[in-house]
Structure 1
Amino acid sequence: MEDLVLTSGNHNNNGRSRPERHVAVFAFPSSSHPSLLLTLIRRLSSASPTTVFSFFNTAKFNRPVFSDFSSPDIRRYDISDGVPEGYVFRGKPQEDTNLFLAVAEEELRKGVKVAEADIGLKVSCLVVDAFYWFSGDMAEEMNVPWVSFWTAGACSLAAHVYTDLIRSKSSQIIKGSSAVPDEDEIVDFIPGFSKLRLSDLPSGVLFGNLESPFSTMLHKMGKNMAKATAVPINSFQQLDPNLTKNLSSELNNFLNIGPFNLITSTQNPPSEVDEFSCISWLESQEPRSVAYISFGTVCKPAPHELVAIAEALEEAKTPFLWSISNDSKKHFPEGFLERTTANGSGKVVPWAPQVQVLEHIAIGVFVTHGGWNSVLESVGAGVPMICRPLRGDQQINSWMVEKVWGIGVRIEGGSFTRRGTRCALEQVLSRDGSRKGFKERIEALKELAHKAVEPNGSSNENFKILVDVVTRVTL
């Protein structure tokens, strides 16, 4: 197991005055979590130039987020990933995460002491990924504010905050004699939701392995979050007014401070190189005619589902831009790539500049896994969605997209079939009233999202409250 490694882009202040505050930042080593938290810390650093931030994560996840970024005020610290030397992974679910969770608290406690000695200042605030439920105890011991950052939406957060209530109420909803809650049951007892299907709750709340380290972590997180000094989330309050109102009554300083994708695009216009000429290809397509398909870098539909998507696109004669790994292309139907490329109706790339693509007028629908970042990017661009959730919060996000916000549909039956995919494409892209309804609703949300991040917008005002919490010296 690796020892704590201290690596910062620059530990020399280069003549700058000594910082007045020291904030410890705990990032969780998972998908987009570190980059979102670093985005928040960069904003906080700009708002508080006399504060130095110690950013803790495993080397594997610290390396990419700091690859093109260096600041004397945000110092990188690598902690152990918990994987013993010579360990052979067995392919168990969340195996790497479970190994990390076993050492995380000890590593972070040790890391804070090292950073305090390195910087010469006691930590005055903890800003952490909400997954680190135990950081509340650390903050209490240190007598400092505890900021618990939720990287996703209010809908999934509410499911974790109310896990005990959901489990208690659902125990009364028994299917037959199996003592198992009916997954298709629609319930109305979860605060902030007018209704919700039980099977759309995030895994670990009611279904799945409730005793796994990851599920236990989420349960403890939900139970302890009310003790946090502030709970900022990557969303905007006009998206979920009922959930925002309810969670504001349960949590201290519940602050919608997003969408981050709109804030970063405003402050730092997209600089991603369109190396596969996606935008120039879109220029040749009709307005609102193209289906953009992407499931991110972690989630992958099964091979037979990829076949179904391809068959539906070709059958419906839907122009498409598909971002998919080169390895997955082997599952396409024979001749699919050659036929669609030859007639100009399709383009398949290993990577696409997603924000720029979604903002292009040719895009008519986003076929997505329903990850929170993708949902926010679609809302920010005003593009309706076809969702095929695969894991985590994607189920409940997709419920909101279809049933609450009315800005898209979930794939029929829960997985891609040729018929179901074609029906969804026709429903969202058709010229009749259904397409108009999707477009009108998501355009309305787009306008609210953009207003929220304006100088006097709700997210910007909430961010000012967060800055006050983080820079408040309590020692």
Structure 2
Amino acid sequence: MTLVRRLASVSPTVVFSFFNTEASNRVLFAGESCNNILAYDVSDGCIPSTEGEETLMPLVERVNMFLLVAEEELRKGVGVAERDVGVKISCIVTDAFYWFCGDMAEEMNIPWVAFFNGNSFALCTHLYTDLIREKTAHLIGSAEETVDFIPGIKSIRLADLPYGVVSGDLKSPVATMLHKMGRALPTATAVSVNSFQELDADLTKSLSSKLNKFLNIGPFNLISKEKTSVKFDEYSCISWLDNQKERVVAYICFGTTLTLPPHEIVELAEALEETKTPFLWSINKDSHKHFPKGFLERTSANGTGKVVAWAPQEQVLSHIAIGVFVTHAGWNSVLESIGFGVPMICRPYFADQHLSSWMVESVWEIGLRIKGGSFTKEATCRALEQVLSKRYEKIEALKDLAHKAVASNGSSDQNFKTLLELVTAATVHTKPI
């Protein structure tokens, strides 16, 4: 949606038909007032629940059901959009996951522009999945083995490759989708990513040789004008941070969908108290029951800790008091941390988070992964002390490069202009995208 808004804002005569599930559109377009973005609902493939019944279906199962109907639903949606606007669609811009859109674009004789919203290293592994599987077939069960034959990636542990490349159920709907995506993307007119090419020039060069046109157009968080205002800081996180010393606070957040196992909540909490580290922890209220007895009362009373249900993350990370970001290493969080020059302690869960964590620690050297892969009191104490006592000069350098990339005539700014030309080239009059 951020990408569509950027394109639409500088192309007022182009109509962008935005396809999404009804539940997601309802959130994204609440109060939306962009005249040239038209929202269209597609089915998520799930059987509607009875009125008032909460959907308790596991996320993976819901994703699998959506993938079964996604192509059919999008094809129907395209037909509806064309009838609404009165002209044929001139370009398809999609999430890279939807590999079948390459076939649709070829049938319609129009460009297919794919957007990959993960890190470029993950994209690379999906492009070379067949090569990786062929070269590692004899290493099954050797997760700690390091390989160095993937173009653009100097070396990486098999354990850090994204789900669906060599680990997990390789015949599952998600793994199948990722595999087909990797095979289809070289046919796309262009592939864009939420990153900046200076983050890894060698990888950018490698991907540019594999794809028709590879465009780094981020980091989005440094471009978006939709910054969260302090007036929406309902838990007064910023005013609390204002009373803390510089670069001493640990900001802890694992996104909106992930929850730490109860025993890890205990270990992390005990480490914070043991090291006397000031902290701001964003965690759902239901998880409070797992805190050590008296933890909330003690840390609140002595002013060393603040636990909230939600925090304005960009504002928090930009605050001078923040010394480390304890994160799941989701790509958006990593980019935000780089954009504000905050080193990380990573506790990855799934998808490309292990890969992002490896890059943070071993490639960019702007933080570390929690030893052993999960929080223990001992490992967390050591990690907090190490990160908060060290000056991470490399993240300051990457921060500067990220800001230069999105500035006028920076690499990401120029790449976005190229993308805009590709997307709007076939539009002479008002047409849908």
Q: Which residue of 2 aligns with 1:57?
A: 20
Shift of 1:48: 1.5
Q: Per-residue CA shift, 1:207-258, capped at 9, x if unaligned?
A: 0111100110000000110000010100000001111110000001100000
Determine the structure 2 residue equivalent to 1:271. Answer: 229
**What is residue 117 of structure 1 aligned with on the other side?**
83
Whether contact under 8 Å (2:14, 2:427) holds in the other structure is no
Deviation of residue 86 (structure 1)?
A: 5.1
Q: 1:249 maps to what in 2?
A: 209
Which amino acid counterpart does residue 452 of structure 1 have in structure 2?
A: A
Q: CA deviation at 1:401?
A: 0.3
Counterpart of 1:350 in structure 2 is 309
Aligned-residue offset at 1:268? 3.9
Matched, 1:448 2:414: no
The 5-angstrom pairing of residues 42-441 of structure 1 reads 42-85=5-48, 94-173=60-139, 180-264=140-224, 267-271=225-229, 273-430=232-389, 435-436=390-391, 438=392, 440-441=393-394
Partner of 1:23: none
Taking the aligned partners of 2:74 and 2:412, their CA distance within structure 1 comes to 30
Partner of 1:41: 4
Q: Tell me: CA distance 1:336–1:171, structure 2 relative to 1, closer, same or farther (3 Å).
A: same
The letter for the 2-side match of 1:254 is F
1:464 aligned residue: 417
CA distance in structure 1 between the partners assigned to 2:32 and 2:427 by the alignment: 30
Counterpart of 1:270 in structure 2: which amino acid?
T
CA contact (8 A) 1:170 1:181 kept: no
Counterpart AA for 1:356: Q
* Corresponding residue SS for 1:107: helix
CA distance in 2, matches of 1:91, 1:250: 39
Once residues 200 and 300 of structure 1 are traced to their aligned partners in structure 2, the CA distance between those partners, rounded to angstroms, is 21
Report the alpha carbon displacement of residue 68 of structure 1 after superposing the two structures with TM. 2.6
CA deviations on 1:89-121 (whole Å, 9 max, x unpaired) are: 785661101111111111100110111001111
Structure 1 residue 60 displacement after superposition: 1.2
Specify the SS of the correspondent of 1:367. strand
> How far apart are residue 181 of structure 1 and its match?
3.9
Unaligned 5+ runs, structure 1: 1-37, 174-179
Any conservation in 1 of the 2:22–2:41 contact (CA below 8 Å)? yes
User: Is the partner of 2:20 in helix, strand or coil?
Assistant: strand
SS at match of 2:16: strand
Conserved? CA contact 1:148–1:230, under 8 Å: yes
The aligned amino acid for 2:258 is C
2:299 and 2:85 map into 1 onto residues whose CA distance is 58
Residue by residue over 1:349-385, the C-alpha shift from the partner in whole angstroms, topping out at 9 and shown as x without a partner, is 0000000000000000000000000000000000000
**Structure 2 portions without partners, runs of 5+:** 429-433
Mapped contact 1:132–1:221 kept (Cα < 8 A): yes
Kept in 2: contact 1:301–1:390 (CA 8 A): no
Q: Post-superposition shift, 1:271?
A: 2.5
Q: Distance in 1 between matches of 2:39 and 2:291?
A: 42
Tell me the amino acid that sits aligned with residue 396 of structure 2. E
> CA–CA distance in 1 between the matches of 2:101 and 2:118?
19
Query: Over aligned residues, Cα RMSD in angstroms?
Result: 1.4
Give the Cα separation in 1 of the matches to 2:268 and 2:162.
Answer: 25
User: Per-residue deviation at 1:153?
Assistant: 1.4
Contact 2:164 2:170 in 1 (8 A): yes
Deviation at 1:172, TM superposition (A): 3.0
Question: TM-score under structure 2 normalisation?
Answer: 0.96
Deviation per CA, 1:1-35, whole angstroms, max 9, x where unpaired?
Answer: xxxxxxxxxxxxxxxxxxxxxxxxxxxxxxxxxxx
Q: Deviations over 1:112-151 (max 9, x none)?
A: 0111001111000000001100000000000000000001
Q: Which position in structure 1 is the counterpart of 2:431?
A: none
* Structure-1-length-normalised TM-score: 0.87
C-alpha displacement at 1:45, in angstroms? 1.0
